[in-house]
Structure 1
């Protein structure tokens, strides 16, 4: 057994040093677990990440040094090696992997201090030039913010400076990706989770050490980057990680999707479903359609109680995102698009404008908080 030492992710330089030791067999790091009693974990463990995701259910994900290194090495094999900009919280797997990738490549990441802004991003990026290939990892909301500021020559130059910008954490709306292509930003859409040591499917193609299959509509992943399980929860570990008849270990993602001609297509969370008028409706699928509409690329779709249908979907969007039509016309546009692709029962019932969309520290939408606001305003 090895000792688990809880630490803060606020000091990226200190975390870098502790992570180097953890990857080399030193004490394991506990992130997002401050205030909890220290404990011991299995030998080979490098990090335990405390996370509740957007569902609010706490988990303690155990990641070995082998898993983290495997993810970083597979990424380098796919997109190349170089210097990384850390612009995400290091206490979450996407930010943590920026540090791991830097360690594996023998470099130190440049840390974006303070709050994220186009000016800060540009200054940090341009200060890294010249110096070989540059990489970073962002969430879609950060990309949208940068694209909105791309008329600033420094921001545009920074976007164009990266060999690849990994984008994950949530679905990347196609209009955002199209805008990025137009300005010369090289985005790579990633899919993965803390349980897979971060993104392990890039632009729909699994990394070379990764296998993806579909069982009863659910995407499952195998590979050396899988977590060992959940600290203190053997039952959840057994439900989430299974072995097939060949002894291959698979992670049950909880996501619905398909694998077609080697390309992984994610349809949404199996548990993010409402029943409206007796019909099951995937809110993730509705949201993807809505986000493809100009003016709604940052929208979040949540389910609320409905007196007539039992449940209904509602579009929530921040006021700062310019609607191309009036609210009623934009809603009708969205309803028509959803009806065309999924069917009339899936049409959103309402569009709600808010001053600010609630987010988790990871940058993902706080869906439960947004749902509560939608319920109150409805």
Structure 2
């Protein structure tokens, strides 16, 4: 069986069903032939400007990258085309969260060191001061009135320049970089061979012949609707699973804030069969809208959530209001890919996950792999097709991707156990991460900003349950002086100047002293308890 490139799969599909609608986003409706041609032209443009692979994979350590990186600061429109075009050029597409502040994006770009940046024009002004001056800038028109940044190349012009084919031979070993946060909030780029992420997270396979792909995609079901943003791994993987399966994929037009009315209207208009979203941040407003208004959702057979946990109460409400659907809870991470799925229907709810190939549970001491029915709670892990490692970080690569019992594995950081039937029971993340509305917040980064305020002596940041966001960020603060003017509004303004909105604490709780352990480390057990006791806010 042969390993495939993602661009090769897309081109094979376009050769069979060129006129089938591939993506819908706002007013843009693109066929498979449209995207195959756009991605080819973008690849030619990048290659013509000297970008591509400069060292082959077999000459590199797992944390090294011998290809030019291309940072994508993009909304959903044309995101698949940009990713595939970069891969066809043998460059590395790198996701950048456009909700970040310029300071945070600057930190990420300094780490990634991109040779090019593709951005939607309306985002250009926000990040103009931190875009690498020696990089190639490509601007994507998203209907805004802002002028082009100086020296930027319009995507439309790049596609014209890319009409002339270059000599490019992409490899299955070429990588995709999925950026996630580190334990201190500093960025980490997870390096996946593209053939591995295609197989593990995009419902792909090693195909013997292109005819296998043709047979797979010849008959399509109803459209999929990727409501979640493609700049996150969960959103991109879901959309690409549909696209590379020959489905029509509707992308949420996220130029505006999330609008539950627009979501249900789109499901009704496009006769969507499968809809994917991110946990409580989406489920709550969608349920509220269904309670207010009615829609013809008879085409909808499944709703899938991933990227963040969904409150059981919200899951039950969806099953009651949409009794014909299957509710699918997806579980995974940027490091593991799709690990498993939990499927529930009305009257038959499940709280465990069916594991995909390679998923397993490692004993707490890393000594062995656990078997179904054992009582021990271990670490969720995966063997087989896993990432190479973390870009430019040999130490983190060795610790997160160790060899156990002769197998190279990736350890997720989540604790779990195997039920008698072999399904996974998930107990939660062991590291200091708050997952709020599908966004990961690393508490030490927020603490650093809070402590920088002159009125704060010390601070700890934790998450607490939230019906709206699944979890929300809360800070425990000790004032530098008892009467220091550090009200909620003052601290909120201070944090918002340095952090993305989703990282800013929802509440600042004043305590007499922040507790630390004898070794000086934070006592997060105490902090969690203090937050749940609802200490008087500032």
TM-score under structure 1 length normalisation: 0.66
1:195 partnered with 2:367: no
| Deviation string, structure 1 residues 84-109 (Cα, Å, up to 9, x no partner) | 22222211101111332133112452
1:119 partnered with 2:261: yes
Number of matched pairs: 300
1:83 partnered with 2:223: yes
1:267 partnered with 2:432: no
What's 2:317 paired with? 179
What's 2:188 paired with? 59
Q: How does 1:137-148 map to 2 (within 5 A)?
A: 137-148=277-288
For residue 244 of structure 1, report the CA deviation from its aligned partner: 1.8
Q: Retained in 2: the 8 A contact 1:67–1:224?
A: no
For residue 65 of structure 1, report the CA deviation from its aligned partner: 1.2
Distance 1:46 1:18 in 2: 15
Q: How does 1:92-131 map to 2 (within 5 A)?
A: 92-113=232-253, 114-129=256-271
| Deviation string, structure 1 residues 240-286 (Cα, Å, up to 9, x no partner) | 0112223x22211112222222221222222349xxxxxxxxx88xx
Q: Retained in 2: the 8 A contact 1:214–1:259?
A: no
For residue 150 of structure 1, report the CA deviation from its aligned partner: 0.9
For residue 224 of structure 1, report the CA deviation from its aligned partner: 4.6
Gaps of 5+ in 2: 1-55, 57-65, 97-107, 117-170, 206-215, 343-351, 365-376, 434-461, 480-491, 512-536
Quick check: which has more Rg, 1 or 2? 2
Distance 2:223 2:355 in 1: 20
Q: Retained in 2: the 8 A contact 1:49–1:91?
A: no
Higher mean alpha-carbon deviation, 175-184 vs 232-241, is at 175-184
For residue 182 of structure 1, report the CA deviation from its aligned partner: 0.8
1:30 partnered with 2:94: yes
Q: Retained in 2: the 8 A contact 1:140–1:168?
A: no
For residue 230 of structure 1, report the CA deviation from its aligned partner: 0.6
What's 1:213 paired with? 361
For residue 233 of structure 1, report the CA deviation from its aligned partner: 0.3
For residue 139 of structure 1, report the CA deviation from its aligned partner: 2.5
What's 2:67 paired with? 3
Q: Retained in 1: the 8 A contact 2:306–2:329?
A: yes
Distance 1:180 1:194 in 2: 27
What's 1:351 paired with? none
1:12 partnered with 2:76: yes
> SS of the residue aligned with 1:162?
coil
The change in CA–CA distance for 1:175 and 1:306 in structure 2 (over 3 A counts) is: farther
The change in CA–CA distance for 1:46 and 1:163 in structure 2 (over 3 A counts) is: farther
The change in CA–CA distance for 1:103 and 1:83 in structure 2 (over 3 A counts) is: same
> SS of the residue aligned with 1:127?
helix
What's 1:135 paired with? 275
Q: Retained in 1: the 8 A contact 2:384–2:408?
A: no
> SS of the residue aligned with 2:431?
coil
Report the RMSD for the aligned CA atoms in angstroms.
3.9
